[in-house]
Amino acid sequence: MANGSVRVRFCPSPTGNPHVGLVRTALFNWAFARHTGGTFVFRIEDTDAARDSEESYEQLLDSLRWLGFTWDEGPEVGGPHAPYRQSQRMDTYKEVAEKLQEAGHAYHCYCTASELEERRDAARAAGKPSGYDGKCREVGPEQKDRYEAEGREPIVRFRMPDETITFTDLVRGELTFTPENVPDYGIVRANGAPLYTLVNPVDDALMEITHVLRGEDLLSSTPRQIALYKALTELGIAKEIPSFGHLPYVMGEGNKKLSKRDPQSSLNLYRERGFLPEGLLNYLSLLGWSLSADQDIFTIEEMVAAFDVADVNPNPARFDLKKAEAINADHVRLLDVKDFTERCAPWLKAPFATWAPEDFDEAKWEAIAPHAQTRLKVLSEITENVDFLFLPEPAEDEASWAKAMKEGSDALLRTAKEKLEAADWTSAESLKEAVLAAGQAHGLKLGKAQAPVRVAVTGRTIGLPLFESLEILGKEKTLTRIDAALAKLGA
Ligand code: GLU
Ligand code: ZN
């Protein structure tokens, strides 16, 4: 599918925080556009004044930039179909809604909510389809006057053709919808506000979108949109009906659909925890797609080079935080050291740093960074891993202390101190031998001998490679901390 005329869109509504499902949709559209040399259109569906917010709009733009997506048309960059915010296109929707009514593709529906509910319940009870029954399809002028005299305010409803709609989903293959399952539906509210059901396909038509890739939750709107598209084509507003592809559901905990409200689904959470955009995108691409059976780790360029919608798997994908972290860890390792140290910068300052800014030591940081790089899953872990270098005393962690300081730990620490005093402090290997020898003197293997030393010096049982850490911290501070631990054990 390598042609320059592919036009895809990413068209979120600015409500709430961006979530990972949204990012996956953006990613697949973007990758498809880049793979085909097509156009990636970014459109903001902000026609719901009650739910949309400017803050959320800003967040969407900021998120796309952070992820490294560029858009060819959309907010801030403009394009031939500007404006790309639906709130600025209201006149267009009004005009199209009128044309649809004039041509008989849409009509005023005067049914009240309670009337609709009553008829829905009756249909259900009779075992019939419970969607809109078409009552207002043929309202004559007199009836209309009567309704209006009663003070009823109509909505505009689209008239679904009484025919079966079949289309070939790019992911799921051929799908068929019969008319009973796709009733006439509202496109404009009684107060004149156009609905998603209208504005989304109208803009897809006007913006000449060729492929609609979106979540499976929107599958039920596709037959409606195809019918609307046909009407728009008749009116000369649409050119060609786009192809549709529905991306699989993402399942979260307990095999339930991951919802926007799940904390796990918030993009900001991943940013705050120090996921790399490339790690997160690599992981999200696996929710429905894979590069090959034996390669989980790849760059965005590799994904773009290989991506085809036809390869998307229709089965639900499982969101697995552990796997996301493991993949991110691989991407952390792939950075060059300088890039890694720069990306850690936010976590070495307020509000994350637990040390005073003047106690930060650039040279020590540069020395420890390569050791940290091979061990972090997410960048936010850096703070705890290096705090021992910059805090005047190691962080206090009761659980670590209790775990490492056993009977005989004081004797071990005294021997370790002696051996370390005599060691070569320009060589981590020499420091290791010192602790090894101290362990041997007390019948302990290296692992057991090293635990109390680690807790004495860094405060925690888990951390970066110990002997490199000691070397970087330096002889004086290391020995002072062992003394302090011995004093604490003696007390
Ligand atoms: N604004 C819609 C949403 O965020 C777009 C859905 C679509 O891609 O058609 O759900
Ligand atoms: Zn009606």
Q: 68 CA distance to ligand 1 centroid (A)? A: 21
Q: Give the separation between CA 217 and CA 22, rounded to whole angstroms.
A: 12
What is the distance between the alpha carbons of residues 277 and 270, in angstroms, rounded to a whole number? 9
**Which residue's alpha carbon is at the smallest distance from atom 8 of ligand 1?**
214
- pLDDT tens across 237-252, in order? 999 999 999 999 999 9
Contacts of 363 (CB under 8 A, 6+ apart): none
Residue nearest to atom 10 of ligand 1 (CA): 12
Classify residue 139 as exposed, middle or buried by CB count within 10 Å of its CB (0-12, 13-18, 19+): middle
Query: Please, which residues have CB within 8 angstroms of residue 463's CB and are 6 or more apart in sequence?
Result: 385, 388, 454, 469
Half-sphere exposure (CA, 13 Å, Cβ side) for 349?
6
Using an 8 Å Cβ cutoff, are 170 and 310 in contact?
A: yes
Give residues with Cβ within 8 angstroms of 436, minimum separation 6.
446, 449
pLDDT at residue 3 tops 80: no
The pair of three-digit structure tokens given for residue 165, joined into one six-digit string: 């709609």
Structure confidence by residue, pLDDT tens digits, 94-128: 999 999 999 999 999 999 999 999 999 999 999 99
Closest ligand 1 atom to Cα of 22: 4
Active site amino acids: 260
Which of 44, 45, 244 is the best mutation target for the ligand 1 pocket, counting ligand atoms within 8 Å of the beta carbon and taking the most?
45
- Dihedral of alpha carbons 399, 403, 404, 410, sign: positive
Where do the domains of the chain lie, and which CATH numbers do they carry? 7-85+250-318 (3.40.50.620), 89-247 (3.40.50.620), 335-390 (1.10.8), 398-490 (1.10.10.350)
pLDDT for 334-379, tens place per residue?
A: 999 999 999 999 999 999 999 999 999 999 999 999 999 999 999 9
Angle at which helices 409-422 and 428-441 pack, to 10 degrees?
A: 140
Structure tokens at 232: 């728009």
Task: Check residue 1 and give its pLDDT.
Answer: 40
Give the binding-site residues of ligand 1, using a 6 Å CB cut-off.
11-13, 45, 200, 214, 218
Rounded to the nearest whole angstrom, what is the distance from the C-alpha of residue 440 to the centroid of ligand 2? 88
Helix, coil or strand: residue 84? coil
- Quote the pLDDT of residue 255: 87
Which residues keep their CB under 5 angstroms from ion ligand 2? 109, 111, 135-136
| Ligand 1: nearest atom to the Cα of 217 | 10
